[in-house]
Amino acid sequence: MKVSELSPAEFSKRLKRRGIYLKTGPFISHIRSSIPAVARNLSLLYSDHQLMTSEDFADFHIELFRSRGLRRWYRPQVNFSFDGHIPFKPLPLAQAFPMFEWTLNWCIANHSNQYLILHAAAIEKDGLAVILPAPPGTGKSTLCAGLSSRGWRLLSDELAILRLGDMKLLPLARPINLKNDSIDIMRQYTPDATFGQTSHDTAKGDVAHMKPSTDSVIRSDETATPTWIIFPKYVANENISLTLRSKAQTFIYAAENAFNYSALGLKGFQAMEHLIDSCHCYDFIYSDLDQAVEQFNSLPLSEEITP
């Protein structure tokens, strides 16, 4: 059953009482919350996602709840509980939905060593995938959101999940986390897309989530072959450029920014080696999203540059 098959009122009632069993890519999360903003954003941004009819097993059992006591009145807060344990300090109540997204990322990144998990966005077209690593503030999410509204399928905007056996990328297709200026840029660039509430003054500035396309959610069991690793960088007024990047540097960066590269030990090294060997690695500078989309639609399939 899809989330959208429940009315918002039914959805929030179920979320509050026995919780929902939400499928995102290979993971099932049992989520409970009585916080209205969490229910509202979930039913809006996850409306194409599946609710499991069998509620026997969940990978993660999580709850978001308001701090009790006096604080409830003068400085309301939201807490995250991971099956009864509270690993993080509370956040202001207004950040309840961003907290849900961050903590679900944490659950996945910390409990899934059957995969190699990179801190990167990933998109796919014709079965071939681009991995977009890059430090925060480089326009990675903006580019990922832009491409996913122009014919590319979203795999993930934050966690690139690689299956160790065949090194396929598994889709996660969750809302795209946009920060600060990107929020308005994407609202203008994709007027048809659905956006959640903007949360102000979080640790990462203003944050809003953009709903993933229906197509990427429906196809979230379809894996993709990693083919390019591209480090994007938004530089205002700069000419677009795609330049080869050293594989050694790419390896080191990807390893340092993977969530569980070192936990995987030798397996991690072998998987990363295989990944870097089988991908074309580039640096990419852009200042205009349309140009960027055009470039991505003609990415070279051999190690030569055709800008």
Q: Which residues are at the interface with other proteins (CB under 8 A)?
A: 28, 54, 56-59, 61, 83-85, 89, 111-114, 262-265, 267
Taking the CA atoms of residue 93, residue 96, residue 98 and residue 103 in that order, the dihedral angle to the nearest 10 degrees is 120
Q: Roughly how many angstroms between the first and final C-alpha of the chain, as a whole number?
A: 45
Minimum distance, C-beta of residue 29 to other proteins, in the bound complex (Å): 12
**Would you say 62 or 122 has its CB closer to other proteins?**
62
Least spacing, CB of residue 132 vs other proteins, in Å:
26
Residue whose CB is less far from other proteins, 112 or 199: 112
Of residues 5 and 83, the one with the C-beta less far from other proteins: 83
Output the furthest CA–CA distance in the chain (Å, rounded).
63
User: Minimum distance from CB of 90 to other proteins (Å)?
Assistant: 11
- From its phi and psi, is residue 127 left (phi > 0), alpha (psi between -120 and 50) or beta? left
Q: What is the DSSP string of 168-185?
A: PEEP----EEEETHHHHH
Is 224 in contact with 246 (CB distance < 8 Å)? no
CB of 170 to other proteins, least distance (A): 12
- Is 36 or 87 the residue whose CB approaches other proteins more closely? 87
Cβ at position 109, least distance to other proteins in Å: 11
Residue with tokens 């852009």: 286
C-beta closer to other proteins: residue 75 or 267: 267
State how far the Cα of 156 lies from the Cα of 172, in Å rounded to an integer: 5
